[in-house]
Amino acid sequence: MGELSLPPGSKVYIDTPVLIYTLENHPDFYSLLKPLWEKFENDRVSISTSELIITEALVSPLRSGNMVSIANYEQLIFHSGINLIPIERSILIAATKLRVKYKLKTPDAIHAATALSVGCNRFITNDKGFRNIAGLPTIILSELLTYKSEFM
């Protein structure tokens, strides 16, 4: 079975879909991500992300007006111990360079620049556009599922 490789002490950066898949119990990705959150809760890995995740992840719950969902997102984002990295000028400058070099959209460039700034050794996403960024150790969730189905 394809699974996340998360050695103890891993510095994991999560892209927005990871948070959404977790909180929405996504049928394909929730079980794949469960070990990440268990290791995080047991202080075996650290998780970081950009403050940009606030803007990206809360859109759907706010649109639906689902107060329980909003509270769940806010709990995980603000009170779980995830390291929220501020979007500082140095990150924006690095993101601009990444946009030019890799033809990224602005939010993706900000996530990539943020992950590189904190020295993550795992970048978990479901966006293949991150794959070719030098120094960014990217894990594509859908590829883990493909791996699982090819070898079962």
Mean pLDDT of 88-115: 98
Residue 149's pLDDT band, with cuts at 50, 70 and 90, is: very low
Would you list the domain boundaries of the chain? Answer: 10-150
Q: CA dist 45 to 15, 35, 60, Å?
A: 16, 10, 28
Give the separation between CA 54 and CA 148, rounded to whole angstroms: 31
Query: What pLDDT, on the 0 to 100 scale, is given for residue 1?
Result: 42
Above 90 in pLDDT, residue 56?
A: yes
Percent of the chain at pLDDT > 70 equals 95
Query: What pLDDT, on the 0 to 100 scale, is given for residue 59?
Result: 96
Structure tokens that stand for 88 in this block = 């500082």
Query: What pLDDT, on the 0 to 100 scale, is given for residue 5?
Result: 82
Mean pLDDT of 46-62: 97
Distance in Å from the first CA to the final CA of the chain: 7
Residue 2's pLDDT band, with cuts at 50, 70 and 90, is: low
Above 90 in pLDDT, residue 121?
A: yes
Give the separation between CA 88 and CA 18, rounded to whole angstroms: 23
- Report pTM: 0.93
Residues forming a β-bridge with 10:
45
Query: What pLDDT, on the 0 to 100 scale, is given for residue 4?
Result: 85
Domain 10-150, CATH number (from 3.40.50.460, 3.40.190.10, 1.10.150.110, 3.40.50.1010): 3.40.50.1010
Helix residue ranges, H only, the chain: 16-23, 30-41, 52-57, 59-64, 67-79, 89-102, 106-117, 141-150
Q: What is the pLDDT of residues 67-80, one digit of tens each?
A: 999 999 999 999 99
